[in-house]
Structure 1
Amino acid sequence: MKQLSKKIFNIFIICIICIVPLIITPNRLDYYYQAKSYLIYALCLFTSIPFLFEFNKDYFSNKAIYYTIFVYIFILALSTIFSVNISQSIFGKIYRYEGFLTLICYLIIFIIASSKYIFSKVHLVYLFLSATVISIYGILQYFGYNIVKVDPIRSKWVKYVYSTIGNPNFLGSYLVLILPISIYCFIKSNKILNLLITCLLYTTLLLTNTRSAWIGFALSFLLLVIFSIKNKKDLKSLIFILLIIFSITLLINSYKNNALIKRFDSIVSDAKNASIDSTKSEYSGSTRIFIWKRTLKLIQNSPIIGYGPDTFDIVFMKNYKKDVNRLIGNIIIDKAHNEYLQIAYASGIPALITYLLFLIFAIIDAIKNINKNILIIPLLCSISGYLIQSFFNISVVSVAPVFWAFLGILCKFSKVKEFH
């Protein structure tokens, strides 16, 4: 019976990481997000039942991490109860579906992964197979080939790479999570297959044209370099993969007539514009500065419990619709385009502080145990890269479950000392 329950929890985690990002439902109003959210609900519901039957307080060895989780859940509940739109806060906005139910599912994913997951090398096969399918589909989209009929929202997108994830920015954040693991597998094994997978994923990352993901990946790779230098291991393989990455970047930049260099230069120019108090700053970072400034004002008006999960479109457009129409166009802004500001807006500053404390406790615990379990290294790099890109991006049901599963596995690896 115990063996069966172990399989159930591992299957749950594999489904969250490898199956959920692949889900796409053509010929519906929403191709990319609603079905994923429904699958997450179902998986969490059915897996929570055996988990509760086997519940043991010993699961929570690092109590600081779990105390912050339970405080975070309490704050989320309060912000939902006092939301500007309770129904939308519970179920989430259409095309987003990150209401209270989804956020609780993310935490369930974390708790099960951190307490019940058992690593097996075959899980890497499933992960890379899923990521390979997603990447190949994305590259095909770049060249104008779609496996399924394009939905109305994306019908005018030309050379956009979004695969089954639904958006280039979100695909970029997904690849930031996976790439450090494929790179680490290569530098540890020197297997050509792991190298090919890394090249495929990195090529797709470049084609997403997502600057936040590039920055996140750069940080995660830098951390890999630091850990390798510190441990004086795998340096030759790391240098080799760096040369490969550099070569791929030059080739794609040449193919795209220096578009990558221009896109990278825009990071610097946007940063300069953002530092100047002028109209130009409003357009910096794809108008993110425009959104951030106004989001900060909203947070000041409700700093304790926020406005409720996934209600950003209601409050932001009510207050700043004229500004949006004047500076951006006739569109609806439904996210803060900064995950940390989004949390502070939705559930208040205490929620953001609790979330950050939770992350700090988990990361510190992982760093302390790196020498006891080297599998911590690639996950720590993945999560760090994701957290950096989150400063310019949003949480979505296509990618966030993978992040929470990885974070849970990181905490599990921090407790398990068997890998050297």
Structure 2
Amino acid sequence: MYVNSGRELIILKKNKSQSPGLRWCEYVFDIYLGLLLSAFILICAPYENILDVKYGLFYGICGGFIIVMTLSVIELLFIKQLKMADLLKKLKDNKWMIFLIVMYLVSTLISGITSPYDYDYMTGFSRNEGFITQGIYMLTLLFSCFFGRIKNWHIYLFGAVCIVFSLLCFVQVAGYNPFMLYPEGYNYHDAYVAYSGEYVGTIGNADLVSAFLSMASSLFFALIFTEKGIKKTMVAIFFTFSFLALLLIKVAAGILAFFAFLLLFFPLYAYSKHKNWFRRILTAEVIVIFLGVIIFYVWDFGKNGTFYDIHLLLHGNLTPRSGSGRIHIYSQVISKIPDHFWFGTGPDSMAMWELEGFSKYIESLGQTVTRGIDVAHSEYLNILAQQGFISFIFFVALIIYCIVTFFKEEKNIKNIVLVSPAFAYLIQAFFGFSMCLVAPIFWTFIGMMTRKKEDEQNETVM
């Protein structure tokens, strides 16, 4: 921190007038964010048990954060260390967010209660994405908006974690099995052959790993433009490891999300720093998009994956059985939506729909393997199908509110850095799905992104 600057003295004076209660709440958030960006990511188990371990961490870290924060606010109000006026101001400033959160949770609860299936909608059927998990997501968003800010030590801790995470991915893709995360005798390259799915890193599911790495890569890339000297070198190293790991696992959704983030980042950066470059960058981006369309039209991307789906779409040859299988999944899910249009069948209930699985020929096995469908492979479609149109509307409205709130704030570089991981996640969510292994990181960042500018009190923020 620059203690000799006049601006620093002003900030310190402002902090001095801040109530002890608010400082305590922000301290609790600091600890939570540190745990989320380190222990939550790195602690894992063999892949057959990883969801149970991560779900326990999710409850312990995110659920514990919500409980501690709630009890802290109540006690601080009682002992008059937190001014009721400060709390009421936060509630008033974020009244529309609170309204949308409440309505989303109420409609999700109704979805579970009215479900045609007899299952525990509070925890969910197959992916632990039931009502309780949705509630933790929403309260994490709210408290992050109220008290969240990211500090330099969070960034460097997260960067170190991403280096460790990426190194593990490199070793696994090389064919090794450190820590026996795969069953004995198997490795990364046995995906879809010896076992269902593709697993890597300390998160497991490759789609979720891609979502995580797209967020990390976007954050560190944006930081390269804010830091100087050794700090710039450090975040550049963090970015290099994260981005190489993202490319190495070859999940198109995360790669697409990162490059889509760049299309947002450069105009915002130009607007905040060099307004005379704003139109030039927009013009360049139009050219890049045009060239991208040509590339997708000409190249078939090995006739596999999400990029191949886009290639087929541009040729008008997209059929339910073509491409990565997502089109088949989408068509199956969409065909069932009218049956329970308004409130769906309950959160995390799709595994009970008995949808026609997707068949794929595995050349190494010499046979066709059929995989069942328990998730829509599009977070937005997933909510529409499982929780119904009402929940979907409130969910989309909440996301739009957060984005609009961000754009109403001054476009300084710090705000742009905070939006980076959230935006990357929202893009990959068109082709991915929500699970507690990664989603809490997104909800925390989008909460910090939405925090009002006048609430920023701490001089150690980036």
Q: TM-score range with shorter-chain normalisation?
A: 0.7 to 0.9
Q: 1:176 aligns with which of 197, 200, 214?
A: 214
Q: 1:69 maps to what in 2?
A: 101
Q: Deviations over 1:183-226 (max 9, x none)?
A: 12222224212111111111001011011111110011121111
Q: 1:141 maps to what in 2?
A: 172
Matches within 5 A, 1:303-314: 303-314=341-352
Using the alignment, how far apart are the partners of 2:36 and 2:213 within structure 1?
16
For these two proteins, the number of residue pairs brought into alignment is: 388
How far is 1:348 from its partner? 0.3
Q: Is 2:205 the partner of 1:205?
A: no
171-180 or 41-50, which deviates more? 41-50
Provide the alpha-carbon RMSD of the alignment. 3.0
SS in 1 for 2:437: coil
Contact 2:104/2:391 (8 A) holds in 1: yes
Q: 1:231 maps to what in 2?
A: 272
334-343 or 181-190, which deviates more? 181-190
How far is 1:154 from its partner? 10
Contact 1:98/1:397 (8 A) holds in 2: yes
TM-score, normalised to structure 1's length?
0.83
- Where structure 1 has 5 or more consecutive residues not aligned to the other structure, the ranges are 240-259
Q: 2:88 aligns with which of 26, 37, 57?
A: 57
Q: Is 2:326 the partner of 1:288?
A: yes
TM-score, normalised to structure 2's length?
0.76
Greater percentage in helix: 1
Give the letter for the 1:332 counterpart: G
Q: Is 2:305 the partner of 1:273?
A: no
* CA gap 1:401/1:306 in 2 versus in 1, 3 angstroms: same
Using the alignment, how far apart are the partners of 2:262 and 2:125 within structure 1?
35
Q: 1:93 maps to what in 2?
A: 125
* CA gap 1:263/1:193 in 2 versus in 1, 3 angstroms: farther
Contact 2:269/2:416 (8 A) holds in 1: no
Give the letter for the 1:359 counterpart: I
Give the letter for the 2:110 counterpart: L
* CA gap 1:353/1:8 in 2 versus in 1, 3 angstroms: same
Q: Deviations over 1:238-258 (max 9, x none)?
A: x9xxxxxxxxxxxxxxxxxxx
Larger radius of gyration: 2
Q: Is 2:256 the partner of 1:215?
A: yes
Matches within 5 A, 1:1-400: 2=21, 3-26=23-46, 29-30=48-49, 32-53=50-71, 54=73, 56-60=87-91, 61-85=93-117, 87-94=119-126, 96-152=127-183, 155=186, 157-158=188-189, 162-190=200-228, 191-233=232-274, 262=301, 269-274=308-313, 281-315=319-353, 317=354, 320-321=355-356, 324=358, 329-371=369-411, 373-400=412-439
How far is 1:417 from its partner? 5.1
How far is 1:4 from its partner? 4.6
How far is 1:274 from its partner? 4.2
Using the alignment, how far apart are the partners of 2:302 and 2:215 within structure 1?
22
Using the alignment, how far apart are the partners of 2:174 and 2:376 within structure 1?
31
SS in 2 for 1:91: coil
Percent pairwise identity: 23
Contact 2:66/2:140 (8 A) holds in 1: no
* CA gap 1:379/1:119 in 2 versus in 1, 3 angstroms: closer
SS in 2 for 1:330: strand
410-419 or 374-383, which deviates more? 410-419
- Where structure 2 has 5 or more consecutive residues not aligned to the other structure, the ranges are 1-19, 75-86, 191-197, 282-298, 362-367
* CA gap 1:15/1:204 in 2 versus in 1, 3 angstroms: same
Contact 1:304/1:350 (8 A) holds in 2: yes
Contact 2:37/2:157 (8 A) holds in 1: no
How far is 1:270 from its partner? 2.1
